[in-house]
Chains A and B, each alone.
Chain A
Amino acid sequence: MKNRLKILRAERDWSQQDLAERLEVSRQSVNAIETGKYDPSLPLAFRIADLFGLPIEAIFLKEG
């Protein structure tokens, strides 16, 4: 699944580590989600959405 995590993070000048600490996950997880290697669970997707103050569909995009 594609996502806008890297852009949203860059807009706030956060490193992957900064985002990981805010989400209480590892930097490894943030990197895996950001690069599309791993799709987060719905609860984690909601935490990400809440953190950025956006709906989930504004962050995670359907392929194609």
Chain B
Amino acid sequence: MAANPAQRRYVGRMIPISIAYVAAVMLASWIIPDDAAATPLTVAVALVPALATSGFIWAMARFVTELTDEYVRMLEIRKMLVATGLTLALASGWGILELFTDVPKVPLFFVFPVWCLGLAVGSLVNKLTIGDAGSCA
């Protein structure tokens, strides 16, 4: 499917946010030593990449609200619902395992990447149930 204006704007937002994210992670890795204490400075520096991840979420929200094609918007919303359900189920399941057993602790950092992978599962669900996967955005 050819990119619609909402998709083009989405890509236009994601590229600078991605560059900012990589730069912020590199900066935080360079400034904060391993196992540093949580001081106001280290927390402030470590939160800069989090601003970028919030930017990713904002760009996705804008993408959905700017989609004028209701069918394509429905496909995107379904993908996000599948991703959210999958992430909640995995996080809750693993969290319970951590409570009762000595399985390795998974950092909360991985919640967002898992949700993004869930979007791919959502595309597959769309393809299998409706016949259209939705955009690759």
Contacts from A to B (Cβ < 8 Å):
24-29, 32-33, 37-38, 40-41, 44
B residues in contact with A37, CB < 8 Å: 130-132
Q: How many A-B residue pairs have CB under 8 A?
A: 34
Size bin of chain B's contact surface: 10 to 19
A residues in contact with B132, CB < 8 Å: 28, 32, 37
Q: What's the nearest-Cβ distance from chain A to residue B126, in Å? A: 11
Whether A33 pairs with B68 at a CB distance below 8 angstroms is no
Contacts from B to A (Cβ < 8 Å):
1, 4, 68-72, 74, 130-132
- The 3 A-B residue pairs with the shortest CB-CB distance in the complex, in nearest-first order: A29-B71, A25-B69, A26-B69
Give the one of A24, A26, A27 with max B CB within 10 A: A26
B residues in contact with A38, CB < 8 Å: 71, 74, 130
Q: How far is the CA of A40 from the CA of B132 in the complex (A)?
A: 16
Extra inter-chain contacts (13) besides given A26-B1, A32-B71, A32-B130, CB under 8 Å: A25-B71, A26-B4, A26-B69, A26-B71, A28-B72, A29-B70, A32-B132, A37-B131, A37-B132, A40-B70, A40-B71, A41-B70, A44-B70
